[in-house]
Amino acid sequence: MTALSSGSSRPLRGRCRVPGDKSISHRALILGALAVGRTRVRNLLEGEDVLRTAAALRALGARIERDHNGLWTVHGVGVGGMVEPDGVLDLGNSGTGARLLMGAVATHAFTSFFTGDESLCQRPMARVVEPLSRTGARFVARDGSRLPLAVMGAPSPMPIAYTVPVPSAQVKSAVLLAGLNAPGETTVIEPVATRDHTENMLRHFGATITVTATETGGKRIVLVGQPELKPADLTVPGDPSSAAFPIVATLIRSGSAITVEGVGTNPLRTGLYQTLREMGARLTFAKERITGGERVADVAIKAGDLKGVDVPAARAPSMIDEYPVLAVAASFAKGRTVMRGLGELRVKESDRLAAIAGGLRKCGVDATVDGDTLTVEGNGTPPKGGALVAAQLDHRIAMAFLVLGSAARKPVRIDDGATIATSFPGFVKLMNRLGTRIAEVRR
């Protein structure tokens, strides 16, 4: 365990780049492995979660290499070309890697075994097991469809039409990846639109995919199965979920001003930016461009007074991973911030909803949970801090409370920061270079 402490920082200044987007990094490796030929990927997130996906894909037959300059090369096996792995696929802490790869192997006629760390083995997989079973795949798992889990791929895969019951980009993506190796058309209907990185990247690799709006404001996605995906080089944008931490740290520390370069600004991932602007944040985009089918910009932020706002449930899919650090921003704001529709946070690396509220209360913040709604009462001044917060093996909880400690009246400690490397390797170094004071605590 690596305990970390964060004390009052000087004003944050400078320019920085955050690691590549985790969601896009997973998908770049998986679709590169399913293409025929060589795909080169720049700015891949080299966090533990993505490295686990790379290792699993190697076990499934793809050749994946990294050179000394950080350029990743994926030699794909083609759609339907994966091979039965010799051992168990251990996805560590990565729910994204596990669920997406379960989709990819579900329509391959072999058996594969999935496991993960203590946290991942407690997370629900039924949400992907249920639709993937309709393709003809069979699953054997612990109670509640939890890992360890065996996938017996469909010998004669069937295309399906599936309406996603709860907004989830991972479920949608698992079904679409299964549909790649099924004949005919696979259809996914989303009552509420979720992040569309999989659709964007499928197009980038040459798949035929159509997306139309539904009458309810959701999306109908149709994928033509059994394409020959073509190798497609790309540069992974900076992860907006990682950028959220230096952004909020800047907003809550008087006199701060930074620019985060090359961040993904996909409209289905910008809920945090919209919310922070409603709170009064001075946040602007510059050098907007398109790379690999994704929108990218430099994000400039200046500190300033924040006010409480009401965040509607409909916005949750566009910022679900950013709620821990948004709650930190709310604790510095003046007035009440109400965040609705957060049921998905209960099934992340931890019960994030409970972890956020409990950590805030330890730091002297009035925070309550009512059903799927989190309410934070701020008085416009820095919280007391001075607490030891349990990260609960959750990288985003750990980083969020280190951000809170950077501007609280007393330092905040987290019991274990080891999992930060799953999504943001170099987090402490980057934050301290900007002006924070995060340090390892000797026991």
- AA identity, residue 395: H
Which residue of the set 49, 117, 196, 321 is catalytic?
Answer: 321
Contact 337, 376 (CB under 8 A): yes
The span from the CA of 431 to the CA of 137, in Å, is 45
CB atoms inside a 10 Å sphere around CB 373: 16
The dihedrals phi and psi of 49, each to the nearest 5 degrees, come to: -60, -50
In sequence order, the β-bridge partners of residue 187 are 161, 222
Q: Which amino acid is at 313?
A: A
How many Å apart are CA 128 and CA 317, to the nearest integer?
17
Distance, CA of 282 to CA of 285 (rounded, Å)? 10
Question: What is the DSSP code (8-state) at residue 324?
Answer: H
Q: How many CB atoms lie within 10 A of CB 118?
A: 8
Residue 72's SS3 state is: strand
d(CA 133, CA 43): 35
Structure tokens at 23: 């969601």
321 included as an active-site residue: yes
Residue with tokens 């996605």: 221
Q: Which residues are catalytic?
A: 321
